[in-house]
Structure 1
Amino acid sequence: MPIPGMRGTDHVGFTVPDLDEAQEFFVDVLGAVHVYTLGPKRADDDFMAVNLGVHPRTEITEIRFLRLGNGSNVELFHYASADGQAPQPRNSDIGGHHLALYVDDLDAAVAYLRDRGVEVMGDPVTSAGASAGQRWVYFRSPWGMQFELVSFPHGKAYEKEATTLLWHPVSSCDAIRSDPEHAS
């Protein structure tokens, strides 16, 4: 059974080395909107260890919340870590990750990133098998965080016989627009 009342992803949190640089990248390059900021969180007890699994004297210096398109929100953290910070994991490391963004036109999005001086990792890849119909490419933020652009404007092969479809930002936008309660 699922978690009672679970609806979906609310936000994804990332710890970044420089909040201003990260916010500038998310806003100016990716098109996010800054929504609000929270100030420092420090504790003289074991709050940080119990609730966040970090050294008890670690401090959250600031948190910024961003809205990213029609998908999940993003929470950017900056920590003053009491016991140092490990390097960013690679995709192949435990805890490795990337944030995938759906775009309507992959080639236009790649050209845009390259024009902005963003490191695009290779050229777009055409998927096969159940993901046939999809193209993707990875890129990096200035601090090395990995992102992916993905596009499948005509769907993926698995959809022809699937009883459950993966969530898709385009279909979610269409559903919101067709819902009279959300109409403007």
Structure 2
Amino acid sequence: MIKKLSTLTCAALMAASIPLGAQAELPGMRGTQHIGITVPNVDEAVDFLVDVMGCEAFFSFGPFGPFDDDWMTKNLNVNPRAVIEIITMVRCGNGPALEVFQYTSPDQDANPPKNSDIGGYHIAFYVDDINVATDYLIENGVQVLERPHPLTGTGLEGMEWVYFLAPWGMQMEIVSAPDGIIDEEQNNRSFWDPKSDS
């Protein structure tokens, strides 16, 4: 545990040494509009996101491909014979949309990446009460990893978190910081916060 905390503390200290002002800026950048995720079955994934997580599905479109040329590789960095069967746009509360893809491809890896893999990722949902939300996930048959943990000794102190797995194996997380996090208090700045839309 000491080793874990010291690693987190080092990361927080390194982050604290980064100047508060941006060094460069993508012209006109306002924030995250959507996050794309690829799932084995769009209908099943959207059912989970709507029926369990409480998201709202908007619309679907596709398919794209198959193409005879290398359009898919040039534009999407995937196998030229890959096909996007369907895309559904989903909104989860006050946050960026999810663009949920269902692909087929000759070289498709059916195993979701772990966080430790290059390109690994997860999506975190903010909740008001992490213990109530954790119990709800468990009651709905969702695989939750352990119980919520505090992020003490870091710039995120004040936040609690716990990971869970979507039915298709993707890593997801719920977080809660009802009283804010220490970095915001110490540096008079704030991360984007779904509670306040700031």
Q: Does the pair score TM above 0.5?
A: yes
Match of residue 162 from structure 2: 137
What's the TM-score, normalizing by structure 2? Answer: 0.84
RMSD in angstroms over aligned alpha carbons?
A: 1.1
Contact 1:118 1:140 in 2 (8 A): yes
Deviations 1:39-61 (A, max 9, x none): 20002211100000111111111
Match of residue 28 from structure 2: 5
For 1:170, what is the secondary structure of its paired residue? Answer: coil
For 2:136, what is the secondary structure of its paired residue? Answer: helix
What's the TM-score, normalizing by structure 1? Answer: 0.90
What is the identity, as a one-letter code, of the residue corresponding to 1:145? M
Q: Report the alpha carbon displacement of residue 6 of structure 1 after superposing the two structures with TM.
A: 0.7
Listed as ranges, the matches of 1:113-128 within 5 Å are 113-128=137-152
Match of residue 53 from structure 2: 30
1:79 to 74, 85, 103: 103
| Structure-2 separation of matches of 1:83 and 1:92 | 21
1:16 to 39, 47, 61: 39
Contact 1:59 1:82 in 2 (8 A): no
1:96 to 120, 144, 149: 120
| Structure-2 separation of matches of 1:158 and 1:84 | 41
Change in CA separation of 1:133 and 1:84 when aligned onto 2, cut-off 3 Å: closer
Contact 1:133 1:157 in 2 (8 A): yes
| Structure-1 separation of matches of 2:158 and 2:123 | 20
Match of residue 3 from structure 2: none
Match of residue 178 from structure 1: none
How many residues get paired?
A: 173
Match of residue 49 from structure 1: 73
What is the identity, as a one-letter code, of the residue corresponding to 1:87? N
Contact 1:136 1:149 in 2 (8 A): yes
Structure 1 unaligned blocks of 5 or more: 176-184
Structure 2 unaligned blocks of 5 or more: 1-23
Contact 1:137 1:148 in 2 (8 A): yes
